[in-house]
Amino acid sequence: MPESNSRTLLVEKDILHTLLSTDPIEVAGAVGRLPTALSVVEVSDVGLQVNLLPGTEAIEEGRRLENRALLNLAACAIFEKSDLVTARNCAKVLRSNSDFIGYALITWELRKARKQIVGSIINS
């Protein structure tokens, strides 16, 4: 259920379509237009809006597109913006959508990013 103070309640359709792109530069541009540190509710809002893109007759296709968009969002959040909060919340939503492969990939990358952060703190 979306919150009234959600920053992603109504995302522009061109951003939603670009999140599904296979071009990482386009996806990074779309993610750059979204707020940072998205909460679980806000990530769910984005996922729901992507899920509704194909229409009500293609529910399974919508779920697949939602998972792909959330995986792209999480990857760009980690690699382009260093936004671990958004990536972690995307992983939570992917797990709740039963996309365990996407969840595992994002969780693995988050673990590596945390190790790099701790390593840089220890070495400085």
* Residue 25 burial (CB count, 10 A): 8
Give mean pLDDT, residues 34-63.
Answer: 85
Nearest Cα to Cα of residue 69 among 89, 51, 96: 51
Span 2-26, average pLDDT: 79
Q: What mean pLDDT is predicted for residues 108-112?
A: 96
Residue 5: predicted pLDDT = 67
Higher pLDDT, 49 or 91: 91
**Rounded distance between C-alpha atoms, residue 39 and residue 13, angstroms:** 20
pTM for this model (two decimals): 0.83
The tokens 């760009």 sit on which residue? 76
Delimit the domains of the chain by residue range: 13-123
CA angle 70/40/33 to nearest 5° reads 55
Q: How confident is the model over 8-18, as a mean pLDDT?
A: 82
